[in-house]
A and B are shown apart, each in its own frame.
Chain A
Amino acid sequence: MNFFWDLFLGGLTRGSIYALLALGYTMVYGILQLINFAHGEIYMIGAFSALIVASILTMQGLTGLSVLILATIATVLYAAAYGFTVEKIAYKPLRQSSRLSPLISAIGMSIFLQNYVMLAQTSDFLPFPNLLPQSNFLDSISSVIGPSDFIIIVTSAAVMSALTLLLKFTKMGKAMRATAQDQTMAMLTGVNVNRVISRTFIIGSALAAIGGILIASHVGRINFYIGFNAGIKAFTAAVLGGIGSVPGAVLGGLVLGLAESFGTGYISSDYESVFAFALLILILIFKPDGILGRSSQQKV
């Protein structure tokens, strides 16, 4: 039972991070039908800038919560700026071209950003300080759930709820949903599609940055390559849930995280990603549009 509970929590933690990243994929896909391969790199850059900002702050003598808050704010802004810029350079000029061109451009951007960080920083793993706050409350629950697991799960849930509210009730959210549904129609009704696309990238990148800080604190080390695997997993999660669907991305992330966690726990720890990918293939065979995806009975 205890073992089961540990695996469950581990899966939930992992799944929350996948979900945070998957949201970025799904939102971009919903609007541009583009697999934004560079999204994982934004997450990696988020983790790096958090490390840098936090180190500077710590050396200025700051400690505890203030470091976390300032580093988070800086990182989120910074990652959002990256997301915004990436879209302007690699995707915007390609709006009219065939589906494959922006995909290749995205792969190029992903390679570029990885190597940019590797060259400008280092190719080694860097230790990442645990920025998550220590408190008595967390100590008291630590017999049930690890403190950083708890924080990751709660933070992700809060961020995702905020996103859901934003999409549902704000004008911007409505414009985003309208654009995802029918771009031409949205444009005709006065939605500024360029702005919507930019904002989608900004929001997605901000979520990725939060994911980056959380996971880096949890795992305790980062390098320039962490974005790649996380990115592929998150994209898998988005597809699993039904790409384009926001609740689908969350569900897909959690399912994937749990599958990996239980797979490694009960079957074999060597095949962690194999469980994720095998699950994806199985689900798509039976539900080609993902768990919550809209049916693709296309109108003719």
Chain B
Amino acid sequence: MGNILEVKNLTMDFGGLRALNNVNLHIQRGEIAALIGPNGAGKTTLFNCLTGIYKPTAGDILLYPPDGKAKKISGLKINIITELGVARTFQNIRLFGGMTVLENVMIGRHTRSKSSILGAIFRPPATRSEEKAIIDKSYSILEYMGLAPLVNELANNLPYGAQRRLEIARALATDPHLLLLDEPAAGMNPQETNELDALIAQLRTDYNLSILLIEHDMKLVMNLAQNIFVLDYGEEIAYGTPQEIRHNPAVIKAYLGEEADAEVS
């Protein structure tokens, strides 16, 4: 199988605060892995390190794209990491609110297209067909995500659940190998969560993805994930299959006091 991503001894400091301490993590090609832990454990910070938004204080992040050889991505620019095939969604939704749903997804195609300024002005056939390809591909992703009726709405005007799905659609448009989802079910009702559950599983096969998922909804996590990493106060306290995590005393202890502990046990 092989890994698509390896994180080695990753440490991230904010001033005096150590948000991640010597974290190690690996994601196998084609798997859905989950990252769980109490609020403030450093999960989002880890995503931000993986996607280049934060520069890690220490440690390495290695990406193994299916077609190329290993590449150290820590320290690269955000958009370069996206170009190498890592896409993400945000815990606090960050869409381009003043743009339409379709345009949001079309932005995702930016790295996979190349028409230049001159192309934009003169619109030669190459630019035209590229533009058409961008529109078609974006529309097909929106169809897949069930957002086709909303293509011309402004992203700001979408209901919450649709906004979360649009973020996934935008990420898919960048042709990622690895998809990072930050609490995709947050704020969804149980029915929407169930739909999301099915969708994520389907995504992996249809788009040939590896997925790392941050989620508090334990049912979703246990359902989807082959492997689970548990963070607490920036430390990695457990790694294993859902079965193993469910019975891990350290995990149960970390979650004690949080309502989630009922769900874990």
Contacts and interface: CB of A to CB of B under 8 A. Distances in A.
Contacts of A297: 14, 54
Interface of B: 14, 44, 48, 53-54, 90, 92
Interface in A281-300: 297, 300
Contacts, number: 7
Chain A interface: which size bin?
A: under 10
7 contacts: A297-B14, A297-B54, A300-B44, A300-B48, A300-B53, A300-B90, A300-B92
A91 B236 CA distance: 49
Nearest to B182: A300
Q: Is the interface of A mostly helix, strand, loop or mixed?
A: loop
A39 B14 CA distance: 36
Nearest to A98: B98
A297 B44 CA distance: 14
B89 to A, nearest CB: 12
Nearest to B48: A300
B108 to A, nearest CB: 18
Nearest to B44: A300
Contacts of B44: 300
Contacts of B14: 297
Contacts of B92: 300
Interface in A108-158: none
A269 B44 CA distance: 54
A101 to B, nearest CB: 14
Contacts of A300: 44, 48, 53, 90, 92
A296 to B, nearest CB: 13
A96 B123 CA distance: 39
A250 B156 CA distance: 41
Contacts of B54: 297
Interface in A77-125: none
B43 to A, nearest CB: 12
A298 to B, nearest CB: 9
A267 B25 CA distance: 59
B265 to A, nearest CB: 32
A297 B54 CA distance: 8
